[in-house]
């Protein structure tokens, strides 16, 4: 009999910038990760000596200046001599970690596993000293990040991520479902309105201004006029800049246990199923709305969990480009094909709606700290299940939630979680 | 098995030849060439010169080019369905990206036939496409 695994504790730092955010300023990578890890351990009511192993996600060693992360973090986390390793599926990493930790527990080897993710994207150490950091420009950052895409062929062939991950999937949706540019643009406005509204209500999010406040700050009374203005240019037509991620610094963590009854301070969240898939470039064929690796990952994760799309109370999908809120939620079966765009316009995806989606703010609102971000989404899902989600708490606590993430290149991780009370 | 697939591909591009592989088992093409068929994983593949024709389905252009292309003029990036089947994304030489409206208009006219052209871009010979006018 395979031992069941449950999330018994979660932690997450404020997402923002180590250069400017008072909550993050002056922290080394090690300390930032420890802050999230200690919150997760306290949340679970577990002490370091009860943790058997810990797995660490972090993508850019250029900014963290860490290799062999578990070694360098062991004594900072109070986990010296415990088992541990660095693992990496890029931006899906801390979703993937749920399955890895569950497997370790399921095998009977470990009882309690800590998973942490940390990322710093604002800056690099000067003189190899983490305590003196200087900001980096977007192109340098993406030069390193793009090691996540095929550098034998794809990158040299004029590689353009804004078109590949944003514009072409968006045009595919318009074409497949007969939406005009104006309809699509209006839909993406409503998507971003929900993204920023949720972020503004999330004290851990980097973005604290909703779309209306942002519009007002630029002199616009009408946020849709602002959406269409020069302040929101096309990143790659038809995708506007506000439909893209905002890079952030931050860390997240969770404790997964095979003994949820022992750590019952909070409602445990059982890991019901998961699946991972990989695909090198290109990520889709002539139908740019659908990545086949997503289709397989959802199908197999649902099969493992014994659920169907109709059972899902809450869905969190990877929204590095917000078009994927539409496309992936349809692949997940949360909305019928070609129908999700209407749900965004009707406000059904907000925390007050009947089909809540990404209600902490996603990769634009919370901010995208590559290998820490999926863990911040898990953090939020667990909080929703416990009724601890603050201002964005649903009126009914979700029983079944599904979390989807893309990891650059393209990795897909899908995890099915169930409230354990 | 010859493992120097990428070297053979790029060396031949310099000579104007665009190679892919064709699977002896499932008969499908893989482009650019890999060690095994991308469709069925068979290692029984043969090198074939691609026709260099296909259909352009979508294109756009980023305001933030990848760092390798910072010194290059703004570029159109498009999705081409090659005549042999594989989908390939690369530079489209003569697609209009002068304004958002021109990208919108350009995409309305798609799909359109394209023809491959090897060009040296940012220091490397790569496969690009021209829209046939
Ligand atoms: Zn084959």
A180 touching chain B per CB within 8 A: no
CA distance B26 to chain A (A): 18
In a domain, A379, yes or no: no
Structure tokens belonging to residue A177 = 């479902």
DSSP H helical ranges for A254-322: 292-305
Cβ–Cβ gap A281/B89 under 8 Å: yes
Shortest CA distance to A46 belongs to which of A6, A106, A83? Answer: A6
Ligand 1 centroid to Cα of residue B29, in Å, is 8
Question: B123 by DSSP, 3-state: which?
Answer: coil
Q: Could you tell me if residue A291 is inside a domain?
A: no
A236/B66 CB distance under 8 A: no
In a domain, A223, yes or no: no
Instruction: Yes or no: say if A356 and A195 are a contact pair by the CB < 8 Å rule.
Output: no
Residue A274 CA: distances (Å) to CA of A97, A213, A352, A413, B109? 10, 39, 27, 7, 42
Count CA atoms closer than 13 A to A94's CA, side-chain side: 36
pLDDT in tens, A338-363: 999 999 999 999 999 999 999 999 99
Is A391 contained in some domain? no
- H or E stretch including A223? helix A223-227
Which CATH number does the domain housing residue A252 bear? 3.40.47.10
A138 touches chain B (CB under 8 A): yes
| Nearest of B90, B84, B83, B71 to residue B130 by alpha carbon | B90
Residue A26 lies in a domain: yes
Within a domain: A411: no
Yes or no, beta carbons of A284 and B87 under 8 Å apart: yes
Question: Cα distance from A288 to chain B (closest Cα, Å)?
Answer: 9
Residue B45 contacts A, CB cutoff 8 Å: no
Q: How far is the CA of B43 from the centre of ligand 1 (A)?
A: 8
B32-68 burial code (b ≥16 CB/10 A, e <16): bbbeebbeeeeeebeeeebebebbbbbbbbbebbbbb
CB contact under 8 A, A172 and B88: no
Q: Alpha-carbon distance A297 to A92, whole Å?
A: 13
Task: Pick from A136, A158, A239 the residue to mutate for testing the B interface (most B CBs within 10 Å).
Answer: A158
User: How does A316-348 read in b/e, with b if 16+ C-beta sit within 10 Å?
Assistant: bbbbbbbbbbbbbbbbbbbbeeeebbebbeeeb
Task: Return d(Cα B89, Cα B32) in angstroms, integer.
Answer: 11
Q: Does the residue A118 lie in any domain?
A: yes
Query: Which chain A residues are Cβ-neighbours of B121 within 8 angstroms?
Result: 156, 158
CA-CA distance, A419 to B17, in Å (whole number)?
58
Is A270 a domain residue? no
ipTM of the complex: 0.98
Q: How many domains does chain A have?
A: 1
Closest-approach residue (CA) in chain A for B61: A236
Tokens of A16: 């923002």
What parts of chain A have a pLDDT lower than 70?
1
CB contact under 8 A, B88 and A157: yes
Please identify which residue in the block is written with the tokens 């820490």: A372
Residues 2-21 of B with CB under 8 A from A: 6, 9
Given an 8 Å threshold on Cβ–Cβ distance, is A143 in contact with B67? yes
Distance CA A166, CA A311 (A): 29
Q: What is the rounded CA–CA span in Å between residue A296 and residue A130?
A: 41
Which chain B residues are Cβ-neighbours of A288 within 8 angstroms? 57-58, 79
Nearest residue in A to B31, CA atom: A153
In chain A, residues with a C-beta closer than 8 Å to the C-beta of B41 are: none
CA atoms within 13 A on the CB side of B66: 26
Helix A168-177 vs helix A323-331: angle between axes, to the nearest 10 degrees? 60
Pick out chain B residues at pLDDT < 50.
none
> In this predicted structure, what is the pLDDT of residue B133?
83
pLDDT in tens, A19-68: 999 999 999 999 999 999 999 999 999 999 999 999 999 999 999 999 99
Let me know how long chain A is. 421
Interface A–B counts its CB contacts (< 8 A) at 116
The C-alpha atoms of residue A187 and residue A189 are separated, in whole angstroms, by 5
Asked if A143 and A149 count as a contact pair (C-beta separation under 8 A), the reply is no
Residue burial A382-397, b: 16+ Cβ < 10 Å; e: rest: bbbbbeebeebbbeeb
Compute, in angstroms, the gap from residue B79 CA to the centroid of ligand 1.
22
Q: Rounded to whole angstroms, how far apart are CA atoms A239 and B64?
A: 13
What is the set of domains in chain B, with CATH numbers? 1-50 (no CATH), 51-133 (2.40.50)
Largest CA distance in chain B: 49
Please give the angle made by the CA atoms of A208, A213 and A218, to the nearest 5 degrees: 115
Residue A73: domain span? 6-143+247-262
The tens digit of pLDDT for each residue in B34-68 reads: 999 999 999 999 999 999 999 999 999 999 999 99
Tell me if A160 and B77 make a contact (CB, 8 A cut-off). Answer: yes
Distance from CA of A261 to the nearest CA of B (A): 46
Residues A402, A332 contacting (CB under 8 angstroms)? yes
């Amino acid at each position: 009999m395979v031992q069941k695994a449950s999330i018994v504790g979660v932690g997450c730092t404020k997402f923002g910038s180590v250069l400017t955010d008072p909550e993050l300023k002056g922290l080394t990578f090690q300390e930032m990760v420890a802050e999230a890890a200690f919150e997760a351990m306290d949340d679970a009511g577990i002490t370091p000596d009860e943790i058997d192993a810990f797995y660490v996600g972090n993508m850019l060693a250029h900014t963290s200046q860490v290799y062999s992360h578990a070694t360098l973090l062991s004594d900072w986390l109070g986990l010296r001599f415990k088992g541990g390793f660095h693992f990496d599926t890029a931006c899906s990493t801390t979703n993937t970690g749920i399955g890895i930790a569950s497997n370790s527990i399921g095998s009977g080897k470990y009882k309690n596993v800590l998973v942490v993710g940390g990322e710093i994207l604002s800056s690099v150490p000067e003189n190899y000293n983490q305590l003196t950091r200087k900001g980096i420009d977007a192109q340098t950052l993406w030069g390193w990040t793009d090691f996540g895409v095929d550098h034998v062929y794809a990158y040299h062939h004029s590689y353009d991520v804004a078109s590949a991950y944003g514009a072409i999937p968006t045009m595919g949706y318009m074409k497949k479902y007969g939406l005009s540019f104006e309809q699509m643009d209006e839909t993406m406005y409503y998507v971003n309105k929900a993204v920023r509204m949720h972020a503004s209500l999330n004290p851990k999010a980097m973005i604290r201004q909703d779309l209306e406040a942002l519009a007002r700050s630029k002199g616009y009374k009408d946020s849709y006029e602002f959406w269409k203005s020069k302040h929101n240019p096309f990143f790659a037509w038809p995708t506007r800049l506000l439909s893209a991620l905002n890079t952030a610094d931050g860390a997240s963590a969770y404790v997964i246990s095979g003994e949820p009854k022992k750590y019952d301070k909070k409602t445990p969240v059982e890991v019901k199923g998961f699946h991972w898939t990989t695909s090198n470039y290109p990520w889709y064929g002539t139908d740019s709305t659908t990545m086949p690796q997503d289709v397989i990952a959802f199908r197999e994760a649902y099969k493992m969990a014994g659920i169907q799309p109709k059972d899902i109370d809450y869905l969190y999908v990877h929204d590095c480009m917000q078009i994927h809120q539409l496309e992936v939620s349809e692949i997940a079966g949360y909305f019928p094909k070609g129908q999700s765009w209407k749900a965004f316009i009707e406000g059904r995806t907000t925390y007050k709606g009947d089909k809540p989606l990404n209600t902490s703010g996603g990769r634009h609102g919370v901010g995208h700290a590559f290998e820490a971000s999926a863990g911040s989404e898990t953090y939020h899902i667990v909080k929703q299940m416990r009724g601890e989600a603050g201002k964005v708490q649903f009126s009914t606590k979700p029983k079944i939630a599904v979390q989807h993430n893309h990891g650059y290149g393209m990795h897909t991780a899908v995890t099915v979680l169930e409230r354990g009370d | 098995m010859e493992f120097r697939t990428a070297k053979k591909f790029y060396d031949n591009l310099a000579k104007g030849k665009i190679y892919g592989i064709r699977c002896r088992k499932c008969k499908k093409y893989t482009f650019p060439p890999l060690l095994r068929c991308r469709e069925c994983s068979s290692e029984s593949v043969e090198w074939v010169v691609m026709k260099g024709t296909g259909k352009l389905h979508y294109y756009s252009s980023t305001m933030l080019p990848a760092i390798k292309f910072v010194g290059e003029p703004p570029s159109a990036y498009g999705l081409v369905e090659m005549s042999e089947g594989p989908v390939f994304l690369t530079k489209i030489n003569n697609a209009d990206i002068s304004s958002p409206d021109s990208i919108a208009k350009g995409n309305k006219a798609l799909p359109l036939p394209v023809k491959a052209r090897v060009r040296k871009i940012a220091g490397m010979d790569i496969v690009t496409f021209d829209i046939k006018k």
